Structure 1
């Protein structure tokens, strides 16, 4: 008897033409480290009396389908998650191609994502998937991954795949050692670690349906927040926090072969931090920043991906 193992798990993704309707083809195999994407339907206890001390059968409640997917930040596959977060990019070039994603779009694509365990066999197709939040950390060492939080409409489980034979991508991962953080175009030194979180703050449309699923998920006011931990060497960031002025923060990764990923928050506001001297070691300061819309550019952030893929569809 075959037993399910995570090492054999597969994931395929395709963008939908109609929300909640998985396409018949066009799926792409996606690299991932782990996923909690799933569907659940809780039970409601019976409140009825008059049948003795033993309760009557419970009633099924509404269906909830959501979860996280941990993915590598790489040169090609990460573009699918950026499109899910920001919408269609503006692509240019003739190889390598430059894909530019802007925040602020009211129209976000939905996806069908299938997770498969062939040895059971069990294939779960999650339709109507929309990206609610994406986040990652910047540090000196370790694996560079991002966590995508998804809201789905529903789950369909079968014994055969519904994704056909998915297309493959070349896996070219970025590493922390490929990264650099800039402030207003100049390298920002003394950074120990950083966190970035972009949220679409999806509003689930919970209409009354016979299948218990949601009708969709609409993006509301977006949010871009994060945290920077720095060794306290000068008062540049503290002075900015006191004055209340915004700055542009860029997080960029470049591979020796030319592929690159950059993420720019155009108007970042810093809170005034508490500078603590905890002992004889170096003094660190922590800034939990917030980004806002830049009035000159008309957007809050820009993500740029340079790779060999002509288009994301």
Structure 2
């Protein structure tokens, strides 16, 4: 029974395309959302008596283990722009753009059917690393859901990243966190127009980058020294052999920080942060090194 997520980049919004890569996902819950319009503003009767078809779109989440060969299209749809260099492995540098490319997603359901979502764009993308695993979660909004014949997926043989492959560097100080989360949010606006029940397009609004991490400290003094570090630049790096994913944040601020004393154990500090644009530098720049020639 095939279980997969096929991904292809569309030439125009909502134009279905074949899958060019397949993701071995943990789960997905992409589903059609159908609005219903009631006669709440009429005066003939105090009870609802009329109903009409409203706008439709697709919404849901995809979750997978973090893998350098299973993230590139999602990064592009989330940020919007990519420049590729090298001759293999290739280096892909993703940056924030004003428009976002759309994807066709094909989810294998059973032996005969796959679920097809056209006009899919990444609304949110979250990277989570904790002891035992590293995962990516993508919040998706799409134009329309249909069904087709099951495909024949081919999965990458590259190993997934794990918690042992991640480091966090702030300034010149490198730490290995207990847990780390990075979240990017496009705050997509759904655009509907007359003459069609489905989405015309999705418009990205304010791009937000937030996150959190937990670190161990030997003493309160070490914790306070860490808080006072300047400049506030942050690098989160997953690396395995010649493949890596790197999140480079030029400037950020702590939005919350607290420390917990657990008996005679190390101090465990929890930090929450928000990234800021710094001059011409985006709030986040993402570098992906893998075997893909381009996106």
Bucket of the pairwise TM-score, normalised by the shorter protein: 0.7 to 0.9
Question: Against the structure 1 CA distance between its residues 26 and 123, is the aligned structure 2 distance closer, same or farther, given a 3 Å change threshold?
Answer: closer
The Cα shift of 1:282 comes to 4.0
Q: 1:238 to 1:186 in 2, by over 3 A?
A: closer
Q: How many Å separate the matches in 2 of 1:170 and 1:294? A: 38
Q: TM-score, normalised by structure 1?
A: 0.82
Distance in 2, matches of 1:19 and 1:214, equals: 10
What is the CA-CA distance between 1:148 and the residue it aligns to? 0.4
CA distance in 2, matches of 1:138, 1:146: 9
State which drifts further: 26-35 or 149-158. 26-35
Match of 2:5 in 1: 11
Does structure 1 conserve the Cα–Cα contact (< 8 Å) formed by 2:252 and 2:274?
Answer: yes
1:196 corresponds in structure 2 to 182
Q: Which residue of 1 aligns with 2:278?
A: 294
1:68 to 42, 51, 61: 61
Which consecutive unaligned segments of at least 5 residues does structure 2 have? Answer: none
Structure 2 distance, partners of 1:63, 1:293, is: 35
Match of 1:268 among 252, 260, 263: 252
RMSD: 2.7
Does residue 133 of the first structure (1) align with residue 124 of the second (2)?
yes
Q: What secondary structure is seen at the aligned counterpart in 1 of 2:178?
A: strand
Q: Hey, what's the Cα distance between the residues in 2 that align with 1:90 and 1:50?
A: 61
Query: Equivalences for 1:31-180 in 2 at 5 Å?
Result: 31-44=24-37, 58-102=51-95, 104-119=96-111, 121-139=112-130, 141-158=131-148, 160-161=149-150, 168-180=155-167
Question: Is structure 2 residue 228 aligned with structure 1 residue 239?
Answer: yes
Extract unaligned runs of 5+ from structure 1: 1-6
Inter-partner Cα distance in structure 2 for 1:70 and 1:113: 14
Q: Secondary structure at the match of 1:63?
A: strand
Q: Which residue of 2 aligns with 1:307?
A: 290
Aligned residues: 290
In the TM superposition, what whole-angstrom CA distance separates every residue of 1:219-268 from its partner, at most 9, and x where no partner exists? 1121110112223431123325xxxx651111112213x21121111111
Distance between the aligned counterparts of 2:203 and 2:284, measured in 1? 20
Q: Is 1:186 aligned with 2:180?
A: no
1:216-231 equivalence runs, <5 A: 216-231=201-216
Residue 19 of structure 1, CA deviation: 0.5
What displacement does 1:82 show? 1.3
**Structure 2 residue matching 1:62: 3-state secondary structure:** strand
Which structure's residues are more often strand, by fraction? 2
- Does the Cα contact within 8 Å between 1:246 and 1:269 map onto a contact in 2? no
